[in-house]
Chain A
């Protein structure tokens, strides 16, 4: 599985935990941060 697929899967898991009212832990927040950084990387120019 590629890193992108792994991140997508992790995001889906996080979404399902949040729906179940389970709080974010540091690991999950780091995955969310990483995903957001990757998403924004292409949008930001000098």
Chain B
């Protein structure tokens, strides 16, 4: 059997490489006639060879140190080194497809340079402009990178791009150890508790669970922080029960987590390592973390998420006080940890009976479910729904049907008057969008008709194109006035900029279809909001 070869580009962080491995593993289970080649940065991929070996036919590393060897190198010698150390390895393969799972500038140029007739994900055209040919990558570019309303986990997005269908989980180790692992670090300060919070948690946990020990996991660069934690006066009597795993290989960390009963961590690569074998995990999401995207891909995870309007923030947002860090109480984390270890069912009843309402005021707790074939986070504590929650649900319904024709059922929660007001406001925004799109349809249709003429009137076509430009500006204004409508508007922009076609006729026809899609999305969004508001009389007329 001649196997097809697919190149996967993943040149972002370790966590992303692990998530790529999870998606690639599923693809290999479903498609026996393919071979995968992974292209990744050496500093992120090398330590993960225990995962990539066997899964990929070859892993080709990018490492700037291999190309820029000294300060005296000139550009030509650097490019020569680049060719010898990297591109020659790529040229040994004949790729049937290249799939770029990173969305960075460098990955787009890399994707452009790899020879293949099928390319998915971010790439560049011959003019150096960004080109995105597939719907899922257009979705990522519009929603994951720009907004806060993405509802899909990154592993699922990778799986959708790769075309996998199933979700199979490996079981976690049955061996019962009385050890839990803690990885109290993340790539940014915003994403992680300070030392004192972790010390408080460790103290509380070890005090309440005298039979248990802790593995405290950190990279070599975390050694100083680990030392400060374990030498804290609060933990003086518990030091013998804390085992440090610092500066060890990722394989050792992986094994350590696998042998633990549970992992408590932030959004970091450790959480994704735990997901491979579904080790029970409690994730504390803080700062810029977007739980829908980055929750470890496992059916055995709880994600604690601050209830705060500024959460999640962005990397650019300046925040000195880090208020969301105080939203998750260490006693709550300890309570949940002990409950999981004792086999308690964690549901609304548990929270009402076992947890002080003071701890629950500022946090929501989500568990993962895969009922619709992809990961969804369900709130398991009793808590009111925000307009953000509701809009996420609507978008999940819309995108699932638009991209995958999956129909999702969801319940309509009881909403506060403030949320209803927000939704009503959003519905007004959808009305404006709908009207604008109808104008767009009119002019787009006129372009299709004009382009179909034997002697097209290009001046007339230009006039129509200018009208569409004006509509785009008004769409941006509408998006800025109603920020929760950003996903549909931005998706439309990205899809329109990448509309397929070999000539003006094909481009205008495909563009028209896109206007129809947006028109339908607006109708569905309007109806969903109306159904929620129980305003049955309201519907859009096309």
Q: How far is the CB of B17 from chain A (nearest CB, A)?
A: 11
With the chains together, A30 CA to B78 CA distance in Å?
10
Q: How far is the CB of A21 from chain B (nearest CB, A)?
A: 8
Specify which chain A residues have a CB less than 8 angstroms from the CB of B87 in the assembled complex. 30
Complex interface bits, A24-44 against B, C-beta within 8 A gives 1, otherwise 0 = 101101111110111111001
With the chains together, A2 CA to B44 CA distance in Å?
28
Instruction: Tell whether A18 pairs with B105 under 8 Å between CB atoms, given A7-B75, A46-B44.
Output: no
Could you say which interface size class chain B belongs to?
Answer: 20 to 34
Determine which of B41, B113, B124, B126 lies in contact with A30 in the assembled complex, contact meaning CB atoms within 8 Å. B113
Chain A facing B: main interface SS: helix
Specify which chain A residues have a CB less than 8 angstroms from the CB of B14 in the assembled complex. 46
Of the stretches B61-69, B331-339, B368-376, the one at the interface is: B61-69
With contacts defined as CB atoms under 8 Å apart, how many contacts are there between chain A and chain B in the complex?
75
Nearest to A7 among chain B residues (CB) is B75
- Asked whether, in the complex, the Cβ of A37 is within 8 Å of the Cβ of B79, the reply is no
Instruction: Tell whether A37 pairs with B62 under 8 Å between CB atoms, given A23-B126, A46-B14.
Output: yes
- Asked whether, in the complex, the Cβ of A36 is within 8 Å of the Cβ of B104, the reply is yes
Q: Does any Cβ of A come within 8 Å of B109's Cβ? A: yes
- Asked whether, in the complex, the Cβ of A33 is within 8 Å of the Cβ of B106, the reply is yes
Q: Does any Cβ of A come within 8 Å of B277's Cβ? A: no
- Asked whether, in the complex, the Cβ of B75 is within 8 Å of the Cβ of A10, the reply is yes
Nearest to A45 among chain B residues (CB) is B187
Determine which of A21, A29, A33, A46 lies in contact with B269 in the assembled complex, contact meaning CB atoms within 8 Å. A46
Specify which chain A residues have a CB less than 8 angstroms from the CB of B110 in the assembled complex. 33
What are 22 sample pairs from A and B whose C-beta atoms fall under 8 A apart? A3-B71, A7-B75, A23-B127, A24-B127, A24-B128, A26-B113, A29-B109, A29-B128, A30-B79, A32-B109, A32-B128, A33-B106, A34-B82, A36-B104, A36-B106, A37-B62, A44-B12, A44-B13, A44-B41, A45-B187, A46-B13, A46-B219
